[in-house]
Amino acid sequence: LNALQEELAPFGLVILGFPCNQFGKQEPGENSEILPTLRYVRPGGGFIPNFQLFEKGDVNGEKEQKFYTFLKNSCPPTSELLGSPGRLFWEPMKIHDIRWNFEKFLVGPDGIPVMRWHHRTTISNIKMDILSYIRRQAALGVQGK
């Protein structure tokens, strides 16, 4: 994501990260522990995100952030399968729920969600989709003038 942010920032891309502990309990620490964990443990090697990280919160269930309710209901689910209930920590489970960490959304500059990617979608495919979206928006901007 750092490389994608760096490469596409000149085109207006802004990556935002939202830590969550609902998937395999992989983010158990306090908010103050998230950046040191990224830097020294996972992925480690001195990694520092070049995009904004928000405070940890729920993306699914009773206490999900309203931002995610909006995103999830604006884009179709990425898969028919939700996942293994023993590794998912929220209730109630719904069809539009995020399936796993690193599911991504593209939101246009107007605040309208454009697309949603499965957590295993490669960054190269995400980049191609974003560039395609940017080209379409540029073409519409030229036509609209």
CATH of the domain at 72: 3.40.30.10
Classify the C-alpha dihedral 94-70-120-40 as positive or negative.
negative
Query: For residue 109, is pLDDT > 80?
Result: yes
109: left (phi over 0), alpha (psi -120 to 50) or beta: alpha
Q: Which residues pair with 16 in a beta bridge?
A: 52
Tokens linked to 4: 């994608």
How many domains, the chain? 1
What end-to-end distance do the CA atoms of the chain give, in Å? 33
- Asked whether the predicted pLDDT for residue 24 surpasses 60, the reply is yes
**Confidence class of residue 114 from pLDDT cuts 50, 70 and 90?**
very high
Q: Where does the pLDDT of residue 82 fall: very low under 50, low under 70, confident under 90, or very high at 90 and above?
A: confident
pTM, full prediction: 0.91
Domain residue limits at 25: 2-143
Q: Which segments within the chain are labelled E, that is strand?
A: 16-17, 52-53, 104-107, 113-117
How high does pLDDT run on average in the chain? 94
Pull the structure tokens for residue 51: 């995009």
